[in-house]
Amino acid sequence: MRKDQIKTLPSYYEKYVNLAGDGDFMNELMSGGLQLFIDNADKLEALGQKTYAEGKWTVQEMLEHLMDTERLFQSRCLRFARADKTDLPGYDEDLYANNARSNDIPLRKLLSDYRLLRSSSIAMFSNFNEEELQRTGTANGQEISVLAMAFIMIGHPIHHFNVLEERYFGLI
């Protein structure tokens, strides 16, 4: 399915969906977002713990944030695909980042973990049919579809990589 088939998407997430390619979400999930980080691992390692401003995330913290978000979205997708109508809470991304010890984990280990996580996402989505992908649920007070979350998983890392290009790579 393609992003123009998304029926339920809170406006906050449009920026991430718009960054995803126009192809089938499974193809985009296999090649999008995460691959930017893998292809630029040397540059990311050269950044080390540098940030463009006090209080901003390091590359490792950013990667951990992306994985935390994908894990939470996996859970939401599974629940909504199974027609679970429980209102799910949001999460405090800064709280997660502050308690993750991301800077103690080597960058290449985080990239390897992210690759495994993405493989898990691909496996999960490959078993959903069109009806399940269009199912919706409520998370953080907003209704969203499983398909929308798949495209957010694609565009979210692209968004953060763009931040790295715009604000971090000049620090090398």
Q: What is the pLDDT of residue 163?
A: 97
Q: What is the pTM of this model?
A: 0.96
pLDDT surpassing 90 at residue 80: yes
The answer to whether 11 and 143 have CB atoms below 8 angstroms apart is no
pLDDT digits (tens, 9 = 90+) for 121-147: 999 999 999 999 999 999 999 999 999
pLDDT surpassing 80 at residue 32: no
Work out the pLDDT band at 25, boundaries 50, 70, 90: very high
* Mean pLDDT of all residues belonging to the chain: 96
- C-alpha to C-alpha distance for 17 and 30, rounded to whole angstroms: 15
Work out the pLDDT band at 31, boundaries 50, 70, 90: confident
Q: What is the pLDDT of residue 136?
A: 98
Indicate the Cα dihedral angle 81, 62, 15, 164, nearest 10°.
-150
pLDDT digits (tens, 9 = 90+) for 143-167: 999 999 999 999 999 999 999 999 9
Cβ of 54: how many Cβ atoms within 10 Å? 5
- What domains appear along the chain, each with residue ranges and CATH number? 3-171 (1.20.120.450)
Work out the pLDDT band at 83, boundaries 50, 70, 90: very high
